[in-house]
Amino acid sequence: MAYTSSQIVQAVPTGINSALVCVKAETAFSAVTSVTADSVFTSSYTNYLVKLIFNTSTNNEVLMKFRVGGVATSTNYNRQRLVFNSSSVTTDQLTAQTSINLGATNGAVEQSNEVNIYKPQIATATNVYALVQNNFGNYTTGNAGLVISANQTASTAFDGIEWSVATGTFTGNYTIYGYSKTV
């Protein structure tokens, strides 16, 4: 049975709002040292979700910074991290850093990140909660997870974000969503 366009529109109930609204469509990057997304945090949304997947060219850590007006902020980052794999659970804490360390990968396999960012566009501390799935060396025995609680404590209204590697390059993609303020 074929449907007309008006029948298809009528099949979707009115008044349905999505809880997540895509503010930056999936964006691919390849063999770069850093990636930026500017003008993505606005007053339209208070909180955001970032999906970030990547491989690095060498054993490397991926670092995250917030931006305002196209310039990255390199002070006042703090992070508490829980790391777990098949044989151990460890924690660490870093304070007064130049970025948020999302974890290391050896370049052989992907790392998947789900990063919640709270109030980046409001001139108060910006909080971050991230879940990271990492495959240290292989997809079977190298599987590990990280839980990251972090913040940027400056009273700055940020409008962008940056990811970078200290050495080598990384390749992947990201998507940024805003959490809807309405039901």
Query: Which pLDDT value is given to residue 8?
Result: 43
Burial 141-159 (b: 16+ CB within 10 A, else e): ebebebebebbbebebbbb
DSSP H or E segment with residue 35:
strand 34-37
Give the mean pLDDT of 15-32.
88
Residues near 9 by beta carbon (within 8 Å), at least 6 away in sequence:
none
Closest CA to 155 of 115, 121, 118, 112: 121
Q: What share of the chain is helix, strand, coil (3-state, %, to 5)?
A: 5, 55, 40
d(CA 53, CA 65): 17
Instruction: Write down the domain spans for the chain.
Output: 17-179
Give the mean pLDDT of 12-18.
54
Considering the entire predicted model, what is its pTM? Answer: 0.87
Residues in the chain: 183
What tens digit of pLDDT does each residue of 44-103 get?
999 999 999 998 888 888 999 999 999 999 999 999 999 988 788 999 999 999 999 998
DSSP lists the bridge partners of residue 21 as: 178
Looking at the domain that runs over 17-179, which CATH code has it been given? Answer: 2.60.120
Residue 143 has pLDDT above 70, yes or no: yes
> What are φ and ψ of residue 136, in 5° steps?
-70, 85
Tell me if 79 sits within 8 A of 62, measured CB to CB: no
